[in-house]
Structure 1
């Protein structure tokens, strides 16, 4: 399984390098406060995809993972505080 993951990662890195090499046209990007001059089209698109994936990961973590962990911790503390022999009904 580890070999398959490594091969897939290498494949995606190869596609990224190929994509960047085929899209070498210079572009200028204006971000309001910053202006990037003469960055290649391929690099700018790959960076945009990377930033989007990182932001999506943060949003998913904040909206799904942290509440589930909090709920799980609350459930464990409620079970630990029950007296032995009592059943937990919901």
Structure 2
């Protein structure tokens, strides 16, 4: 399984390098308060995809994972309470 993950990661790196090499046209990016000049098109697109993936990870963590962990922590003491069995009945 580790070998498959390593090969998949290497494949993505190779595709990223190839994508950056094939899209070498210079572009200027103006974000209002921040400007970048003469950045290659491939690099700027790869950085945009990376920024989107990181932002999506933060949104997923804040909206799904943290509430789920909070709910599990809250319900954990109740789940560990002893459950009465059939022999406990009078």
Name the structure 1 match of 2:88.
Answer: none
CA RMSD, 1 decimal: 1.4
Map 1:1-90 onto structure 2 (within 5 A).
Answer: 1-80=1-80, 82=81, 84-86=82-84
State the TM-score, normalized to the length of structure 1.
0.88
Structure 1 outlier segments of 4+, above 2 Å: 77-80, 84-87
Larger radius of gyration: 2
Secondary structure at the counterpart of residue 32 of structure 2: coil
| Matched residue count | 85
Q: Tell me, which stretches of 5 or more residues in structure 1 are unaligned? A: none
Distance in 1 separating the partners of 2:14 and 2:65: 32
Q: Tell me, which stretches of 5 or more residues in structure 2 are unaligned? A: 86-90
